[in-house]
Amino acid sequence: MQKPRILVIDDEEDMLENYARILSRMGYECLTQKNGSIAIDMIDSYGPDVILSDLRMPDMEGLDILDRLKKIHPDIPFIIVTAYGDIPTAVESVKRGAFDFITKPFSSEQLKITLERALKYKGLTDENRKLKEQLGSCFNLEIIGKSHVIREVIEVVNRVAITDANILLTGESGTGKEMVARIIHSKSPRSKGPFIPVDCAALPENLLESELFGYEKGAFTGAHTMRKGLIESANEGTLFLDEIGEMPLGLQAKLLRTLQDRMVRRLGSNRFTPVDIRIIAATNRDLKKAVQEGIFRNDLYYRLNVIHINIPPLRERREDIPLLVLHFLKKFNNLHKKKVISISPEAMSVIEDYPWPGNVRELQNVIERAVIMSDSERIELKDLPNGLIVRDVESSGFQVLNPTVNSIPYKEAKEIWLATFEKNYLLSLFENTSFNISRAAEIAGINRKTIHRLIKRYNLDIKRLR
């Protein structure tokens, strides 16, 4: 894996040597340059992920480098290094497009945190650009299906994308809510602006608040520099709030005020900054029930739910499965340099009969694995995971969909049965508990360590399945 590349611009030779040593220890690749003009000319060939530049230099000051960079490479995060007395100028640099600034003297840890944030931002912008290129202008290349329920979704998305209304996406985990959000953004008048995704369930309340609203230097312990929040970063674009139902009540009130006033206030600041954003929120929870239970604000619910789009689970659109399979075959052939061009009728029958508790995301994972495992131009039963089973409602038992277990020794077949049961029991448990491991352990009557051990045993990517 290629190391992140950092281009450092500073006119002092000893400072460049220090940067090279420190960044190398951090695991980064570092290129240093004393001359600003030469550094700008090197960007195309070197391809830095982040640029770190001193503010005061004799040949070309940091702000001049920033202004030129933003015209030719606007997506590369630019960090200004400045003395304490130049903070007003550093703040001006952020207004002119710098990602952040850091004041001298600073510790290695401060530098590391700032670079990690910049690299995370670079990753988001790169992903956004790639998705736009993949989506192009053809919507149906990404939302695959001919079923009545999915055609209704496509029709509503096409109708509302060109508006600026806030949208609430609902549906089970794995149905593709974020993909639909990205498509709405790509078809909207805001498509040239940023698409900023936020997972409201992934961070504790204090971190989520600072991520969303940003903060001023000194706002709390560890706030060594000013940082713009994700709401500000989404200006003139779309803010995607995934798992909005998990947002704490205190933050819900602050988000509501931001949506009403179209202003954001960073932590530790008394100033309000105007923002022009569209909100697309998503949840797999029943928000109406959450409102009744007092864990979600009624006023925020109606502010977000201007347009409601429900993404149906895969079991309700089974006629779309063959189309999705062919779509994923093409995608993963290209990704893994394979030539798997078809799927056997037996394998397709197994796939069509499976209930898909993980929805489209689970199907995508299965097809990717099958493409990798296949040693021919066709996916066969042997290429599918042994865990593809379906509950037989009438007999209240499990029917094995992969018949290969009928032709192997008892002990081996028993191991497959047990593994199949455990894996699918876990998937069903996670679906019913919205991937809350503590709740899943409580229902199953086992401890959290056992849950984690089973997740590891069956290589379940919980983050992707959510």
**pLDDT surpasses 60 at 397:** no
Domains of the chain: 5-126 (3.40.50.2300), 149-312 (3.40.50.300), 314-385 (1.10.8.60), 389-466 (1.10.10)
Better-predicted residue by pLDDT, 372 or 397: 372
Residue 221's pLDDT band, with cuts at 50, 70 and 90, is: confident
Q: What's the confidence (pLDDT) of residue 459?
A: 72
Per-residue tokens: 242: 């995934």
Residue 129's pLDDT band, with cuts at 50, 70 and 90, is: low
In three-state form (DSSP H/G/I as H, E/B as E, the rest C), the secondary structure along the chain is: CCCCEEEEECCCHHHHHHHHHHHHHCCCEEEEECCHHHHHHHHHHHCCCEEEEECCCCCCCHHHHHHHHHHHCCCCCEEEEEEHHHHHHHHHHHHCCCCEEEEECCCHHHHHHHHHHHHHHHHHHHHHHHHHHHHCCCHHHCCCCCCHHHHHHHHHHHHHHCCCCCEEEECCCCCCHHHHHHHHHHCCCCCCCCEEEEECCCCCHHHHHHHHHEECCCCCCCCCCCEECHHHHCCCEEEEEECHHHCCHHHHHHHHHHHHHCEECCECCCCCEECCEEEEEEECCCHHHHHHCCCCCHHHHHHHCCEEEECCCHHHCHHHHHHHHHHHHHHHHHHHCCCCCEECHHHHHHHHHCCCCCHHHHHHHHHHHHHHHCCCCEECHHHCCCCCEEEECCCCEEEECCHHHHHCCHHHHHHHHHHHHHHHHHHHHHHHCCCCHHHHHHHHCCCHHHHHHHHHHCCCCHHHHC
**pLDDT surpasses 70 at 348:** yes
Judge whether 256 and 242 are in contact, CB under 8 Å: no
Q: Which whole number is the average pLDDT over 166-179? A: 93
Residue 410's pLDDT band, with cuts at 50, 70 and 90, is: low
Tell me the percentage of the chain whose pLDDT exceeds 90: 38
Q: What's the confidence (pLDDT) of residue 404?
A: 45
pLDDT, tens digit, 9 for 90 and up, residues 227-261: 888 999 999 999 999 999 999 998 999 999 999 99
When the pLDDT of each residue in the chain is averaged and rounded to a whole number, the result is: 83
Q: What's the confidence (pLDDT) of residue 399?
A: 44
**pLDDT surpasses 50 at 358:** yes
Nearest to 207 by CA among 189, 185, 223, 191: 223
Q: Which whole number is the average pLDDT over 389-418? A: 48
Q: Which whole number is the average pLDDT over 452-463? A: 74
pLDDT, tens digit, 9 for 90 and up, residues 283-321: 998 999 999 999 999 999 999 999 999 999 999 999 999
Determine which of 100-104, 138-142, 316-320, 379-383 has the lowest per-residue pLDDT on average.
Answer: 138-142
CA distance 275 to 287: 26
